[in-house]
Chain A
């Protein structure tokens, strides 16, 4: 779950959407704040102008008594929550609907009404000395405060839907593009694992750029498949064309061999030629077999195969070879049957090739161990040796047809053994891994 969110977060459309939302919000906030400031200032200015006008009205009164009378009259009608008029006469009497007092905390407007001690809320006030007394007029700032709420509301109404729409739109786009990218990725994965027929299935609602990428990828895949097919066709044609001539050469050599007297130099030469023809035939046989295994038709005749018994037989078959070369060949397999669905001959050849490979490429005194066991509920076949191993950089390459390590160029073999192992493993849905046996090579075949 967490991983999925992280993945989504990394997707381009979502990031773009978020960036736009952020930019849009910042600009909206700034402009709203500026208009709020301007409006508030003009409101305050208006209140101050009102206050000055009010004061001017009182100043028109001829004396303090008249001011007091005027204040009393006006304040009686005024709502103290909106307007407070207060006059401290020269004799100390307070007229009006409130009084200004001052303490440590600042100015307060105190009610003259005994029920109410103080008026809450903010006021703007103007005080002037008038006929020996002090006239104070205060107007509530409630309107200005209301302005703030108004602006917050405007903000919520205008910005929130935009942000929500942009966010969900981005999310939907991100998920969709993620799905599309996954389709492209899956096709690439398939091609990498050898299915050259895999194509990107471009949906009708894909964005143009992805459509282009998908199209180009398909174009590339088609070209690659065609060239691999052509190569396969050519090698297969060559192999088929050469089958009969090779066979005829073998026939002629055999004829010749039987007409010669044993022990003569000519007979020895024919023997050598026959050995070479056998080598050529076996390489061809391997190449053609490899193509057939890769074709996958053997899957149709899979039957239960006891790997345990097969391991015992093959190890026994190679025992004399190992002993002769001063190597040890050991088997660790359960006594009971270990059954997998498969082709017994091909699995036997796979194991033979692995053991033969291990024996051939390790010096005398090396140990070759064949292990059959289970790992996490899957049957695992391991052939490990204590020889020189295969460098990491070469491990993938040795599975290619006819590839041989530089140091193995002079040992017998046609470079097809491990390719066949790979193909047989793939046919059985098994995975093949080449690891360092420290020292040596450990080949692991993990059955499904």
Chain B
């Protein structure tokens, strides 16, 4: 993927760019808003990573300007600690997701990946499949190797979320946001508990593990 990182703090910028490059992406790094705007309009990127506080043109204006010009490139907004307002105004300005600093690199990478694939859409079939696992969204039945699995509503929602994003890492906070609708981290092990309950039903009785843990990042169902 081709990514643009607009970040004025050199340490953070280099760190993000290097990490993303190590993952095989092509990364352009610029340090101010005006350069960011020029770069973003000058070539096509898969995802923009934009810091909120930027010299020249701030992140909010940058996103607004891009959206105003009809540029729909997905934007991951980086906000400083405690700037709850910025997060909301960032989303309102047209950003697709946000991440509060400091963040673990795995979180950033998972969110960038999630954004990049968004245009291709997520699975919209009535039946989701992974290996011999089948989830029927209409009858709300889940079977594996022909065996019925009895899932609680939250387990069903969690599995559905992972199946729809097959092959993509979903972090704890991403799962909390979409499965529990919580935009803050209550610092509990609820995600881990539900993943392990889900595994007990979906994976343990069978030979292959479908739900994978990605160390330091999150979970995914193998594509």
Contact = CB atoms under 8 A, between A and B. Distances in A.
Given A285-B82, A313-B182, A348-B182, A258 B190 contact: no
Q: Which of A254, A318, A324 has the most CB of B within 10 A?
A: A254
Contacts of B83: 288, 292
A277 to B, nearest CB: 7
Interface in A312-331: 313-314, 316-321, 324
23 contacts: A246-B81, A247-B9, A248-B12, A250-B102, A251-B12, A251-B15, A252-B11, A277-B102, A281-B81, A287-B82, A289-B82, A291-B82, A292-B82, A301-B88, A313-B182, A316-B190, A318-B190, A319-B190, A321-B189, A321-B190, A348-B182, A349-B186, A352-B186
Given A262-B215, A313-B181, A318-B188, 9 more contacts: A239-B81, A243-B81, A243-B82, A247-B12, A285-B81, A301-B88, A317-B180, A348-B186, A356-B186
A315 to B, nearest CB: 11
A277 B102 CA distance: 9
A357 to B, nearest CB: 12
B190 A317 contact: yes
B143 to A, nearest CB: 26
Interface in B103-152: 103-105
Contacts of A321: 188-190
A255 B104 CA distance: 10
Contact of B101 (A239, A247, A291, A298): A247
B85 interface: yes
Given A244-B9, A251-B102, A313 B180 contact: yes
A121 to B, nearest CB: 98
B190 A348 contact: no
A217 B189 CA distance: 51
A258 B82 CA distance: 27
Contacts of A285: 81-82, 100
Contacts of B81: 239, 243, 246-247, 281, 284-285, 288
Given A243-B81, A248-B9, A254 B186 contact: no
Q: Which of A247, A301, A316, A352 has the most CB of B within 10 A?
A: A247
B182 to A, nearest CB: 6
B84 interface: yes
Interface residues of B, number: 33
Interface of A: 239, 243-244, 246-248, 250-252, 254-255, 257-258, 262, 277, 281, 284-285, 287-289, 291-292, 297-298, 301, 313-314, 316-321, 324, 345, 348-349, 352, 356
Contacts of B182: 313, 317, 345, 348
Contacts of A297: 85
B187 interface: yes
A268 B14 CA distance: 25
Contacts of B88: 301
B208 interface: no
The DSSP consensus for interface residues of chain B is loop
Q: Which of B19, B102, B215 has the most CB of A within 10 A?
A: B102
A262 to B, nearest CB: 8
Nearest to B100: A285
Contact of A254 (B80, B84, B104, B190): B104
Contact of B105 (A254, A281, A348): A254
Contacts of B216: 257
B180 to A, nearest CB: 6
Contacts of B43: none
Interface in B142-177: 154
Given A251-B12, A285-B81, A258 B186 contact: no
B58 to A, nearest CB: 16
A250 B99 CA distance: 14
A289 B79 CA distance: 13
Given A247-B101, A317-B182, A356 B187 contact: yes
A251 to B, nearest CB: 4
B188 A317 contact: yes
Contacts of A281: 81, 102
Q: Which of B12, B184, B216 has the most CB of A within 10 A?
A: B184
A349 B80 contact: no
Nearest to A245: B11
A58 to B, nearest CB: 118
A251 B183 CA distance: 23
A243 B12 CA distance: 12
A231 B12 CA distance: 30
Contacts of B101: 243, 247, 250
A210 B181 CA distance: 56
Nearest to A319: B190
A246 B193 contact: no
Contacts of B181: 313
Contacts of B215: 262
Contacts of A317: 180, 182, 186, 188, 190
A289 B105 CA distance: 23
A3 B81 CA distance: 53
A30 B19 CA distance: 104
Contact of A289 (B19, B84, B154, B186): B84
Contacts of B19: 258
Contacts of A348: 182, 184, 186
Interface string B1-26: 00000000101100100010000000
A392 to B, nearest CB: 29
A357 B145 CA distance: 44
B184 to A, nearest CB: 5
